[in-house]
Amino acid sequence: MNPKKIASLVALGTLILAACAAPPAAAPAQPAQPAEQPPAEPGKKFAGVTVNAITFSGPQIAEPMQRRGKEFSEMTGATINVVTVPFADLYQKILNDFATGTNSYDVVVFAPQWMVDYIEPGYLEDLTDRVKADSALQWDDVGLFFRDFSATYNGRIYTIPLDGDFQMVYYRTDIAKELGLQPPKTWDDYIAFAKAVSEKKLTTDDGKPVYGSCIAKKKAAQSYWMITSVASAFIQSQGTGQGAFFDLETFKPLYNNEAFARALEVYKETTQYGPPDEINLDVGDTRGLWTAGQCALTIDWGDIGTLAIEEGSKAKDKTGAVILPGSKQVLDRKTGKLVDCTPELCPHAIDGVNHAPFAAFGGWSGAINKASKPEVKEAAFAYLSYMNQPAQSNVDVTIGKTGFNPYRVSQFKNLDNWLKAGMSEQAAKDYLGAIEASLNSPNMVLDLRIPQNQYYQGIVLDGAIAKFLAGEQDLAATMKEIEDGWEQKTEELDRDKQLAAYRATLGVQK
């Protein structure tokens, strides 16, 4: 080969290497949008202090953070900058910032199930003493579950809850009445309800179709929480401590058995009664369909209740809410079979139906970067405390666009704010009753909070479910893929450590 050839091949190789080595194509993220803040005023408590906060590009969550940030600035002189990134990037973005020592953010508002990956390396400030010293927080008014699951790790407080999250089923009360249907108690009821509406071929006032069921099933979005909401009642029956993801002795996945197979069947069947593009819809899309009056049933967090009363909603005073449907058959963990409920197998069953409400996600919570300057930490805590205090949060949880759902005891007891927000008394009782029933359930399913839960759920579970819904693989292959993927990650991370973390999570008090 002559030198020219060699030179040209080297040049070609360098070109290709350089091209491939370039950073991944601009992350499909929305640009960070710092909130506009008034300049700091001298003489105020935090004058001259700037607090940089990060959360996801809602508008939910970011909206109240920016709005309350502005109020907080006016009161204290601190400058609050809220940076937003797409939800899918938030976990890694925060971790990268901490791990590289960049420390661009003083306040991080995130899913509490990720906290284990932030606390173990020592990135988050221990807030225990500050919380105890802050009477304005009225900490005892925060629901016990949120204090323990969303805020505490290994007995220490690391986050301030701003939101309370449970998945529930919403149904259209007017359609149920018209068709003589009862709110679903079991997943079979859910299917029957959805099918009845679908067969009736109802339309909205402007001629658009009303679908029997709308569930966010988009890949790499919220689908893995939805399937867990369906599966929980089939898998967990003996109380929260039993867990719904792994065996407590061997840490083997509980997702390859007859119970999860039944959940997959239910999940897939609901697609028949949903919008044609349901497997490409995320919660933003299904919520839009709900408020447009195009859904008779949906699974969602508390957001639907408040979005339904917003201006322009066609589901106002037509939105009912119930605890997640249950099952009369549950997993017998000794045999791996789906068997009928007995008093021994389903001690918490109501009328023979085992309910296992899923505390999906856990509710947005705020934490403080341990590496921030002391005065910034003080301002950051004061800012989180301000948002959490009843005077602010009791209002914010009634506004749909905030994305905040009730998490304080007083928010369930006092209906005034809900009525002021535009909810009818019946709707408020329905809505809060469904959340309370979930919150008080002794068989509540806790979300996965073990190291790298994002990989277990967001990659393995989500990927397998997406293939199943798309018809790329059958039930057996889907369950095997989940089991193999989880086992592989467990082996990588150390089974004993993962099991210990899982058991510690399930010890959470409610």
Partner 1 sequence: MATITSPAGVSAARARVSPSERLAPAAFILPAVLVVLLISIFPLILSLFLSLSRLRFQAGGLEVQFVGLDNYRKLLLGNEQKVLFGTLAEPSLFGWVILAVVGAALASGLYRAARHQPAIAIVGRVFASALLLGLTYLIVATLFAPEGRPGTLVVTMLYVTVGITLQYLIGLGLALLCAQPLPGRRFFRVVFLLPMMITPVGVGYLFRMLADTNKGPLEPLWIALGMQDFAWSNNAWGARVAVMIGDIWQWTPFMFIVLLAAIEAQEVEPVEAAIVDGAGSLDIFRHITLPAILPVSTTLILIRMIEAFKIIDLPNILTNGGPGTATETLTLYAYRIWRALDIGGSAAIAYILLFLVTFIATLYVRTLRSRLGTT
Summarize as ranges the residues that interact with partner 1 (CB under 8 A): 2, 4-5, 9, 12-22, 24-30, 88-89, 91-92, 95, 98-99, 117, 120-122, 208, 218-221, 275-277, 279-280, 288, 452, 454-455, 458-459, 463, 466-467, 469-472, 481, 484-485, 488, 492-493
Pick from 260, 329, 268: which is nearest to 480 by CA?
A: 260
Minimum distance, C-beta of residue 40 to partner 1, in the bound complex (Å): 34
In angstroms, the CA 292 to CA 275 distance is 13
In angstroms, the CA 233 to CA 231 distance is 6
In angstroms, the CA 345 to CA 329 distance is 10
- Dump the DSSP string for 30-76: PPP-PPP-PPPPTTSTTTT-EEEEEEE--STTHHHHHHHHHHHHHHH
Residue 84 or 393: the one with the smaller Cβ distance to partner 1 is 84
Residue 9 or 476: the one with the smaller Cβ distance to partner 1 is 9
Minimum distance, C-beta of residue 268 to partner 1, in the bound complex (Å): 13
Residue 30 or 182: the one with the smaller Cβ distance to partner 1 is 30
In angstroms, the CA 37 to CA 176 distance is 48
Residue 234 or 255: the one with the smaller Cβ distance to partner 1 is 255
Pick from 296, 302, 327, 165: which is nearest to 230 by CA?
A: 327
Minimum distance, C-beta of residue 25 to partner 1, in the bound complex (Å): 5
Minimum distance, C-beta of residue 19 to partner 1, in the bound complex (Å): 4
Distances (CA, A) of 457 to 80, 137, 227, 489: 33, 33, 11, 11
Distances (CA, A) of 340 to 31, 337, 352, 356, 360: 52, 10, 9, 16, 26
Residue 25 or 391: the one with the smaller Cβ distance to partner 1 is 25
Residue 2 or 135: the one with the smaller Cβ distance to partner 1 is 2
Minimum distance, C-beta of residue 77 to partner 1, in the bound complex (Å): 35
User: Which stretches of 279-328 are DSSP H helices?
Assistant: 283-291, 303-307
Minimum distance, C-beta of residue 24 to partner 1, in the bound complex (Å): 6
Minimum distance, C-beta of residue 16 to partner 1, in the bound complex (Å): 5
Residue 19 or 133: the one with the smaller Cβ distance to partner 1 is 19
In angstroms, the CA 331 to CA 233 distance is 9
Residue 220 or 475: the one with the smaller Cβ distance to partner 1 is 220
Residue 25 or 133: the one with the smaller Cβ distance to partner 1 is 25
Residue 210 or 423: the one with the smaller Cβ distance to partner 1 is 210
Distances (CA, A) of 327 to 170, 396, 447, 478: 18, 35, 20, 22
Minimum distance, C-beta of residue 105 to partner 1, in the bound complex (Å): 16
- For the chain, the first-to-last Cα distance in angstroms comes to 75
Residue 123 or 386: the one with the smaller Cβ distance to partner 1 is 123
Minimum distance, C-beta of residue 410 to partner 1, in the bound complex (Å): 38
The residues, any chain, with a CB within 8 Å of residue 218's CB and separated by 6 or more, are: 279, 280, 281, 282, 285
Minimum distance, C-beta of residue 82 to partner 1, in the bound complex (Å): 21
- With H, G, I as helix, E, B as strand and everything else as coil, classify residue 23: coil
In angstroms, the CA 81 to CA 104 distance is 11
In angstroms, the CA 363 to CA 379 distance is 23
Pick from 212, 218, 170, 211: which is nearest to 191 by CA?
A: 212
CA atoms lying within 13 Å on the CB side of residue 394 = 18
- With H, G, I as helix, E, B as strand and everything else as coil, classify residue 324: coil
Minimum distance, C-beta of residue 237 to partner 1, in the bound complex (Å): 30
